[in-house]
């Protein structure tokens, strides 16, 4: 495989990831718009109104995660993946993931109360998934951040040796 083919393969993979990122961003934006419309217009939401408001508010750090992922893809395209900018993007993604998880954890007692009143145990399961999903992303991003810091250190040592 020549270098030209490798670069075009790398560009196509980042293009595919950018497309997925765009679809996810549009999907979350549409979902938030729908939820905001329901919060404003519907009187029959009852106890679920604060839960839906929490979902919409948690989209703010999620959009920032999408922005930082876009920055990471730009760094990869520009062969700047082993830079402090990439480490900073991973750090921000980690913090935002933990913030989202913490927001759902703080709202858990309210969700448990609503689930008990409506006799809906599925709501509790969804809450646990919404807590563990961003937490897992944060832990994985923390590991990637540490690996990237080590790789940058090895790269700088290698450049100094040669």
Q: What is the pLDDT of residues 43-64, one digit of tens each?
A: 777 777 888 888 899 999 999 9
The DSSP result for 102-153, as a single string, is: HHHHHTHHHHHHHHHHHT-HHHHHHHHHHHHHHHHHHHHHHHHHHHHHHHHH
Q: What is the pLDDT of residues 35-48, one digit of tens each?
A: 888 888 877 777 77
Q: Where are the domains of the chain?
A: 3-161
Provide the percentage of residues in the chain whose pLDDT is more than 90.
54
Under the banding of pLDDT at 50, 70 and 90, the label for residue 65 is very high
């Amino acid at each position: 495989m020549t270098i030209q083919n490798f670069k075009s393969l790398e560009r196509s993979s980042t293009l595919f990831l950018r497309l997925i990122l765009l679809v996810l961003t549009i999907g979350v934006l549409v979902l938030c718009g729908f939820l905001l419309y329901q919060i404003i217009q519907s009187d029959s939401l009852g106890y679920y109104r604060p839960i839906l408001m929490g979902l919409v508010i948690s989209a703010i750090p999620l959009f920032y995660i999408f922005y930082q992922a876009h920055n990471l893809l730009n760094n990869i395209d520009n062969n700047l993946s082993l830079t402090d900018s990439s480490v900073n993007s991973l750090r921000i993604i980690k913090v935002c993931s933990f913030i989202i998880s913490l927001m759902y954890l703080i709202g858990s007692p309210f969700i448990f109360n609503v689930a008990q009143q409506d006799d809906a145990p599925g709501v509790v399961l969804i809450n646990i998934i919404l807590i563990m999903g961003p937490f897992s992303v944060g832990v994985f991003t923390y590991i990637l951040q540490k690996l990237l810091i080590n790789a940058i250190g090895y790269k700088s040592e290698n450049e100094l040796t040669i």
